Structure 1
């Protein structure tokens, strides 16, 4: 009897030992979150990133991962304005690892977060601020690399991405962003995102890395059915007819642009930036734009109309956005632009009304030939100035350029009188 009782006790002991890890884990899950674990995670994140970190709570999932609630990351100098605010972040770090003093996640899952990328007026990026830069030498790359994870995969759900450019007063607000990313210590960060942009859709692929201790980037953005608004000031660099309007220009944008560059400062990035793209704004209403007001002085409404569509292929190089042909269909004839806008806002475009000379009736063409008037050599329109103050000038045959109000000078009036007399004589004959 006693021997049978000992046998049962042995079996129960073995069963208890087998179940104890699971029971212990359930107990840990029930007891967690713990303040010491939360403090350890905050300290680890601040040490690895050099940023200010706040965390509301930490929980342990049944699957073994750690869940962070209310994670906020900010620049050390502005802790009250976090550039990352995430409701829920799940990491593949177990509580056992935390007990051993380790924090080495290899994957994370972010749910319902807001990320702000701010470029200040001096060209610096808020997200690049780090307290480690003040403590470590600038050339201490090995120390910085050791703080970063060797490999970290991320999945994003319901992210709001806000890109703010203070020098140009523009804001890019992306909603319902989802996608994934991969950070590798040797390869940098690669990401693929998709979501909504001003009632339209977008797809973004990008890579951030480092070459010879110099940050480099490469990316492509595709968007369609995006509504224009007053926060898209940067678009004027590629489409100067949108610049200077006191009221928001209404339109629907489709965009495909590729860019690459590098550098640690705004001027360095601007010098290195190269790329190309295509855009279409259809429809677009140019009512109230300085360009349309100036153009009407020339066309008097016979060629142009505020309800229009616009298409352009462009390149980015040498701190300029250049287009060989930007076509504005704003009436009966397409208006064609060729020229450039540099990154300071200065611009220089030649404008022609495509096919205007070809549409002159044959009888009138023969008459102009008899009068020794070259239709294709007539004056052309120049768009000059800068994005804050656009002016339209006329290029004459001698290569000079004059504002519209100075176009009809005494010599022009004399020439017009002479042409009028010749035309009258031809009609009489």
Structure 2
């Protein structure tokens, strides 16, 4: 009889040997499928990118006698206090510094994500990936920040001839810049590596969508008032800290496989702590105009101002306590700011939905078998590791303001009205006058 040859690793009938299955399974990355392995070979071998924390030597010596668990606890705690202190400092320095910091954080987060992609991509020595990535970052920032400048600094833009021209053709210029990058990408395509290059093209654009768009929304929230910037960010920070604390001391029940160290005890404890923290922080900040007034640009002094008459949102109101709770607390009414009610929605989102930004980042890191995006902050990883939940929060706050808070802005309408030609101003004036007379409003004002 002819000898029946079997392929290595297969049993009788061509079936794969169970031990080989287990061995192959162990060698794959978490959650990796066969197609993932094939993709890795196309990308030039393993896509694994390893990072490590560079803990300062002084901390290593001071904590050398502790176990790794408690050493990590102290390192994270000390660096967290340092970051909170830095956060207070930049708030004190004002809106312009805050916007600059947001821009710097955006660039660093983009760099960390793109670097992971480049470590996969550079094996083939294909042209222009990093150059095009940074070029597209420049284009998208030019578009978004140009829109912001035109919207919030309208009078200044109209006053300066170069700015007025750039503002008038802003979207066309933005499109032309992006189109240039698009053509450069097409010209950079290399035979036999088209799939990889389009993969990295998508990588860059998804990164831009996540990072640049969200940082743009953060700045928009800032212009609505510092409180809309500080409270949401502080709630995410509080939830991150308290979830870690409750999980560290009381955690027993795993929450999600993507983050094995996350526990239900930490998740629930973080939720209640964050809601209480957001409610108290909102009470304190609502009493200060520097936090509640919209950030506006003063054309006379060429500087930002935060002085206004507080809206009803930041004026103490009296609320009746439900009868069920009156016997418990012993009060019939309570005085609080309406913003505190909104803060409950913000802190709830930060506690229940915000962590999913972190889970998303955890899944991304597991896909490439990395511990952190970078090793910028000892014990914490990269900047993106600290801001993965903040970006999701920024979108929610912007949508929340647009849906429930923001109304027409008379000052912006007046600014635009004053830039029109005299005949256009007269036409608007006569139309508005006729409308007010028809409604009987103008006549009543004249009689008064």
Give the TM-score band, short-chain normalised. Answer: under 0.3
- Give the number of the structure whose residues are more often helix, by fraction: 2
TM-score by length of 2: 0.26
Q: Which has the higher strand share?
A: 1
Instruction: Considering Cα pairs closer than 8 Å and 6+ residues apart, tell me whether 1 or 2 has the greater RCO.
Output: 2
